[in-house]
Amino acid sequence: MDFLLTEEMKMLKDMAYKFAVQEMAPVSRDCDLQEKYTPEIRKKAADNGLVAAWIPEQYGGPGAGFLGNAIITEELSRVDMGIGLNIVAASFGCEGVYFFGSEAQKQKYLPPVCKGETVSAGAFTEPNAGTDVAGYKTRAVKDGNDFVINGQKMFITNATVCDWMLTQCITNPEDKKHNSFSMIVVPANAKGVTRNKIHGKMGIRASDTGEIALEDVRAPQENLVGKQGRGFHQLMHFFDVTRILVAAQGLGLGIACLETAVKYSKERTAFGAPIGSYQISMQKFTEMAIRIEALRGLVYKSAWLVDVGKPDYTLGAMAKYYSGQTAVFCANAAVEIHGGYGYIEEYDVQKWYRDAKILELYEGTKEAEIMTIGRFLVSK
Ligand SMILES: Cc1cc2nc3c(=O)[nH]c(=O)nc-3n(C[C@H](O)[C@H](O)[C@H](O)COP(=O)(O)OP(=O)(O)OC[C@H]3O[C@@H](n4cnc5c(N)ncnc54)[C@H](O)[C@@H]3O)c2cc1C
């Protein structure tokens, strides 16, 4: 057993953090205030091997595995979780193509995303069904060699900036609910696709989130990803892997909160001494640090297990659940250490406090993670 990162991973970690400091930090506040997506930073990140880092070299990716991808996500999220998401989620949806797609689909869709030339999206959630993944209503009906798709997707990351969406649709309504879905690649510029950006998010405001309407959209049969009728099961596997990325976001954000709060506590004095010298402050730092270290263990181990071909989906769900808890806890503590200043725009901790909450909501709410973990525990 070896808990040390390889030299290669250490270099990747340093490079990702330097990239974040140089390229993301200077525009972070502006992107948050203006809800600005950052295509140029994403392209630069792709040139540096930070986009779709988990995609193997044979499909044009850097081949850093899911552990490498988690480490990149951690380091980018130490600086800005929203801009970081524009980089690490530029390939969101590619996981479905990689795990279930044909060789031709992999060759067609994956390399351009790795190069930063195209952006993908995963269009699953609908206005009336999020946690209830079997409750989606979007319908794809066969017509000759095409599927004709009608429905609505909600809260889709990269909705208005993507080139294609891996879209969950009902194709087999006559079959049992869980066997009625299929994944279909829908080109974003297809006739009948309408995309609208959602404004006014609480956090990760640099990330593009939108709603998508599909009205008689035609996608050829060859865009079916995996097996017809297996979409629900494929999506479950998809989330099992992608939620590790979300868990890594909370790790990075937690670290940023701890580092920034400790630094501030040495500079700020109260009652004639730095606030960091008071045991109540130290207790906050201690609890933050312990949670961060525990989370690191969950994130790295669950990512590493995917890379060695022994994925532990319950562990991934634990990582995601604990990530939300850790990020929210650390951001709250960091704001408290900053006192009134922590409530003001000029200080990053207020942004991190807003960013953190999404980790308990997307890619499965914390309640959904509890259901996943709990079901496994009682099934034993
Ligand atoms: C910024 C952002 C980006 C997103 N990006 C994407 C994306 O790229 N692609 C995508 O498909 N989706 C995306 N989502 C959607 C996200 O995954 C969903 O919002 C999330 O899964 C919750 O679904 P919902 O909003 O419909 O809430 P609901 O499912 O309506 O849940 C509401 C509340 O009820 C609880 N609840 C539901 N069922 C149960 C139950 N059985 N027992 C106990 N409690 C329950 C939930 O935990 C939650 O607290 C994104 C959302 C946001 C905000």
Contact 92, 101 (CB under 8 A): no
Joined together, the tokens standing for residue 303 give 């990512």
Tokens of 274: 């730095």
**How many other C-beta atoms are found inside a 10 Å radius of the C-beta of residue 173?**
10
Same domain, 373 and 250: yes
Mean of all residue pLDDT scores within the chain:
97
Q: Is residue 81 assigned to a domain?
A: yes
The residue whose CA has the least distance to atom 26 of ligand 1 is: 130
Options 287, 363, 367, 369, the catalytic residue = 363
Cβ-based burial of 171 (10 A; exposed 0-12, middle 13-18, buried ≥19): buried
Helix (H) or strand (E) holding 181: strand 181-187
- 269-270/164-170 β-pairing: unpaired
- Reduced to 3 states, what is the DSSP secondary structure of residue 174? coil
CB 155 less than 6 A from any atom of ligand 1: yes
Using the predicted structure, report yes or no on whether residue 294 has a pLDDT greater than 90: yes
Q: Which residue in this structure is represented by tokens 């060699």?
A: 145
Give the domain-ending residue among 86, 114, 142: 114
Give residue 254 CA to ligand 1 midpoint distance, Å.
22
The conformation of residue 20, written as its DSSP 8-state character, comes to I
Same domain, 324 and 187: no
Residue 181 and residue 198 in one domain: yes
Same domain, 270 and 169: no
Q: Are residues 366 and 247 in the same domain?
A: yes
Ligand 1 pocket check for 70: Cβ under 6 Å: no
Looking at ligand 1, which atom is closest to the CA of residue 92? 8
- Tell me, yes or no, whether 2 lies in a domain: no
* Model confidence band, residue 186 (pLDDT cutoffs 50, 70, 90): very high
Residue 333 lies in a domain: yes
List, in sequence order, every residue forming a beta bridge with 123; answer none if it has no partner.
167
- Residue 348 confidence (pLDDT): 98
| CATH number, domain with residue 239 | 1.20.140.10
> Which amino acid belongs to residue 74?
E
The reply to whether 344 falls in a domain is yes
pLDDT (tens digit per residue) in 297-323: 999 999 999 999 999 999 999 999 999
- Number of domains present in the structure of the chain: 3
Range of the domain at 137: 120-228
Q: Is 286 in the pocket of ligand 1 (CB under 6 A)?
A: no
pLDDT value for 345: 96
Q: Which amino acid is at 286?
A: T
* Gap from CA of 379 to ligand 1 centroid (Å): 25
Domain presence at residue 1: no
Residue 99 falls within a domain, yes or no? yes
How many angstroms is it from 367 CA to the middle of ligand 1? 10
Q: Note the pLDDT tens digit of each residue in 118-177.
A: 999 999 999 999 999 999 999 999 999 999 999 999 999 999 999 999 999 999 999 999
Other CB atoms within 10 Å distance of the CB of residue 196 = 11
Q: Residue 11: which residues within 8 A CB-CB, separation 6 or more?
A: none
Looking up residue 139, the CATH number of its domain turns out to be 2.40.110.10
CA of 317 to the centre of ligand 1 (A): 15
The domain that contains 38 carries what CATH number?
1.10.540.10
Point out the domain boundary residue: 195, 228, 261: 228
Mean pLDDT for the stretch of residues 344-359: 98
pLDDT tens by residue, 340-349: 999 999 999 9
The structure tokens listed for 296 are 């690191």
Over 90: is that where the pLDDT of 2 sits? no
Site to probe by mutation for ligand 1, drawn from 207, 238, 361 as the one with most ligand atoms within 8 Å of Cβ, is: 361
Mean pLDDT (whole number) for 58-78 = 98
Would the CB of 358 count as within 6 Å of ligand 1?
A: yes
Same domain for 182 and 69: no
Average pLDDT over residues 184-202: 98
**Domain co-membership, 256 together with 365:** yes
Identify whether residues 83 and 37 lie together within a single domain.
yes
The answer to whether position 178 is within a domain reads: yes
Would you call 287 a catalytic residue per the annotation? Answer: no
Burial class, 242, CB count within 10 angstroms (exposed 0-12 / middle 13-18 / buried 19+): buried
- Looking at the structure, tell me whether residues 95 and 189 fall in a common domain: no
pLDDT above 70: percentage of residues in the chain: 100
Q: Which pLDDT does position 1 carry in this prediction?
A: 83
Per-residue pLDDT at 324: 98
Q: What are the helix (H) ranges across the chain?
A: 7-19, 25-34, 39-47, 65-77, 81-88, 94-100, 103-114, 231-267, 279-307, 313-337, 348-356, 366-379
Q: What is the pLDDT of residue 159?
A: 98
* 120-123 and 164-170 beta bridge pairing: parallel
At 68, the amino acid letter reads G
Specify the residue with its C-alpha closest to ligand 1, atom 9: 156
Given a cut of 90, whether residue 7 has pLDDT beyond it is: yes
Distance CA 239, CA 237 (A): 5
CB 196 within 8 A of CB 210: yes
pLDDT tens track for 195-233:
999 999 999 999 999 999 999 999 999 999 999 999 999
Q: From CA 80, how far away is CA 253, in angstroms rounded? A: 8
Residues 281 and 192 both lie in one domain: no
- At 380, the pLDDT band (50, 70, 90 cuts) reads confident
Atom number in ligand 1 closest to CA 207: 1
DSSP single-letter state for residue 62: -
Same domain, 359 and 242: yes
Co-location of 217 and 262 in the same domain: no
**DSSP code string of 94-159:** HHHHHHHS-HHHHHHHHHHHHTTS--EEEE--BTTBSS-GGG---EEEEETTEEEEEEEEEEEETT
| 31, two tokens | 């992107």
pLDDT in tens, 83-106: 999 999 999 999 999 999 999 999
> How far from 271 is each of 86, 179, 285, 338, 379, CA to CA, in Å?
44, 65, 20, 15, 55
Domain boundary among 92, 114, 136: 114
- 357 alpha carbon to ligand 1 midpoint, in Å? 13
- Tell me the pTM: 0.97
